[in-house]
Structure formats: C-alpha cells, structure tokens
Amino acid sequence: MRVLFLCPNLSGGGAERHWSILLPGLAARGIGVSLATLDGRGAFFTTLEQAGIPTRCFAGAGARVYPSVLREIRRSHPDVVVTRATSAHGLAMLATRSSHMKWVVNWHRPDGLQLSPRRVLILRQILGSADAVLAVSGSQIAELQSFGVRRDVIRVIHNGTDFPATRSARARLRREFGIGDDEVAFLLAGRLDRQKRGDVFIDALARAQRQDRSIVGLIAGAGPLEPELRLQAQERGARVSLLGRREDVPEVMSAADALALTSDQEALPYVVLEGMASGLPVIATSVGAIPEVVTTDVGITAPAGDAGAVAAAMLSLAADPARRAQLGEAAQRKQHDLFSADAMCDAYARALREIAG
C-alpha cells in the first residue's frame, strides 16, 4: 500500500510535528509513505529526509507547481493521497477524481480560527468530495459538517507523541533560571503570537503572585509578540523569565512544576501531550480537544481569556505539592496509555488500510 502526504511545507507547528512522527511510524508498519510539499521544505521536512522517507519539494517549479504536482500524483498513482491545507486539498480532489486513488483530508485546524469568506467558499466546494477526513478532535466535527463533509466519513484520531521525559537537567536549569527550591514554576511553551495568548498567562501570573510569592513563570518560545510580552511583564510586576526559542524543550519542561496553555484556539496541541509525558500537571483553556484530554485527573481547565481562572488554578496547585505530584503522575500514565506515538500510528495505519480497501 502506498500513501502520498501532500502539504504546503513542514516549517513548524503542531500539524507539521504530527506528520514528522506519523510518517516514520506508518513506514515501520509496512505502509509505503512519501511526502510532497508545494512551497517549501522546513525543519520537519529535513527530519523526514533523515528518517529515510521519500520526499520531494515542488517549490522550484514556480508558476507550474500545481500542474507539476498533478502530473506527479497521476504518474505515481498512490493508493491514498493525504492532504493538509486548502491548496493541497484542491490538488488532491483534482488528481483523484475519476481514479481508484482515495483522497483523505487530515484536519488540524484549530476550532474558531477565523477564515476569509473566499477560503470558506473554497472549502465548502471541495471538502465534501473527500473519501475520508481524519480529524484530531471531536470538537472539529461540527465545523467539518458546515463545510459539507458527511458525518460518516469523519474519523477522530487523537495526536500522539514519543516525547522523552527527563529529569537530569532539572537542578541545573532551575539554578540557571533563578528558581529556588521552594518555588513553583509554571511554564508556557509555544510561539508567541495572538492565538497563544501569552498576555493572559502573564496577567494570571501577576494576579497569583500577589497572593503567593513562591509562584514564578517561564515562557519558552519566540514570535512577534515577544517585546510586547516583556513590556507587559514589567508593567504588571510579574516575575517571569522569557527564555526565547529553546532546542532543549524536554529539559526545560523538567525545570517546571506545571504546564500552562492559555490559547484562544487549538485543535489538539502537542505541547499539552509533551507536558503530560514529562509528568507535569496541566492548566489549559477549554478549547478544541483540550477538554477531551485535560480531565480533572490530570489538570485544571479554564475558560479562554479568563486570567482570573488561570490564576486561581495556579494558586491551587502551588499550595498543594502532593496534588501536583498526583496529577503529574496520572498525566504521564494517561499520555503513555492513550496518546503515545504508537497508539496514534496504529490507529492511522488501520484507518488508511480500511479507506484504501
């Protein structure tokens, strides 16, 4: 069985990371996978190349990129074409029409993320033609149906990760970050953009620290809002270290005592699964698949944009180290049992074989 994965690029983000884990996992399960990108490569493209996955980037084709991709799909004639992003969806619809190839949409779009009227119109015209849609969250089903996708072709397969848990660098990094032994560190990790709402995290920290000076904050990530967040932290008097982009995320997670995610929109963010894999309790906003994952046995959820609720959750965890330990251990077990890379790849392999017939 041969499966072509088609997308714009693999430059970064949860959807791209997802494919960097999924494709080698499917190859290990006897599925012949390959990757084609339309407008660029990216870090995860290189990761897949190094893993031995056949890859091709069509960015050099210029104005002829779409005809070139269509010819390549028809020439190689995979059993299944899996797509991410509107441009790839449209090409797959055209390439698989009047053929025995199956077209599968892999839907990573966060709930509630604004789309232009033109994009909405395009999606309504093409998504209903897909043979199947593999979503990452049950929360995505309603939007998919609004685009004309039948419920019976939608399957939900949660993301999974093989994120390494490590504690070896905890003491060293806490000293480096200026975190005392009796202090409780809350970590926000991700791109510093509007969607992630770092401002809510800093506001919550400032509120919580007024009542409990043992609370400190860490922000790992880079993005356009970094200067704005630094200024906000200074103005609010929040004790928080902005670490910039880090390549040692497993080690940074080991330095924290809990993970926070304050996004307005998400699908199923990998950072939550990575925090759970690291044995951290999670405070997260109730968006996308988060309520499906962050249940009361592993963490605390809060309404999107509610800094007061996030602050209350921080105070609750900071005051109770035994509860933090209990939630963290349960989170690590749950990630291992339900959201591992093996569980995800097994589910995708079964689904793709069934769809291909």
Q: What is the mean pLDDT of residues 239-255?
A: 95
Q: What is the pTM of this model?
A: 0.90
**pLDDT tens profile 173-193:** 999 999 999 999 999 999 999
pLDDT of residue 133: 98
| Ranges 110-114, 290-294, 303-307: which has the least confidence | 110-114
pLDDT of residue 114: 85
Q: What is the mean pLDDT of residues 194-208?
A: 97
pLDDT of residue 263: 96
**pLDDT tens profile 221-231:** 999 999 999 99
Tokens linked to 59: 């960015």
pLDDT of residue 64: 86
* Whether pLDDT at 317 is above 70: yes
Helix 226-236 to helix 198-211 angle (10° resolution) is 20
* Residue 338 and residue 272 in contact, taking contact as beta carbons nearer than 8 Å: no
**pLDDT tens profile 18-60:** 999 999 999 999 999 999 999 999 999 999 999 999 999 998 7
* Whether pLDDT at 248 is above 90: yes
- Contact partners, residue 174, CB within 8 Å, separation at least 6: 180, 181, 185, 255
* Residue 112's pLDDT band (cuts 50, 70, 90): confident
Q: Where are the beta strands (DSSP E) in the chain?
A: 2-7, 32-37, 55-57, 80-83, 102-107, 132-135, 154-156, 184-189, 215-220, 240-244, 258-261, 282-285, 299-302
pLDDT of residue 62: 66
* Residue 155 and residue 133 in contact, taking contact as beta carbons nearer than 8 Å: yes
How much of the chain exceeds pLDDT 90, in percent?
93
Going by C-alpha positions, the residue among 183, 222, 204 that lies closest to residue 285 is 204
pLDDT of residue 302: 98
Q: What is the mean pLDDT of residues 245-268?
A: 95
DSSP of 266-325: -SS-HHHHHHHHTT--EEEES-TTHHHHS-TTTEEEE-TT-HHHHHHHHHHHHT-HHHHH
pLDDT of residue 328: 98
pLDDT of residue 84: 97
pLDDT of residue 194: 92
pLDDT of residue 61: 65
Tracing tokens 């441009």 back to the chain, one arrives at: 87
* Residue 131's pLDDT band (cuts 50, 70, 90): very high
Main-chain phi, psi angles of 5, to 5 degrees: -100, 125
Domain architecture of the chain: domains with CATH = 2-161+340-356 (3.40.50.2000), 170-338 (3.40.50.2000)
Q: What is the mean pLDDT of residues 247-273?
A: 95
**Cα(132)–Cα(351) distance, rounded to whole angstroms?**
9
DSSP H or E run through 166: none
Q: What is the mean pLDDT of residues 107-119?
A: 89
* Whether pLDDT at 63 is above 70: no
| Ranges 60-69, 81-90, 230-239, 319-328: which has the least confidence | 60-69
pLDDT of residue 113: 82
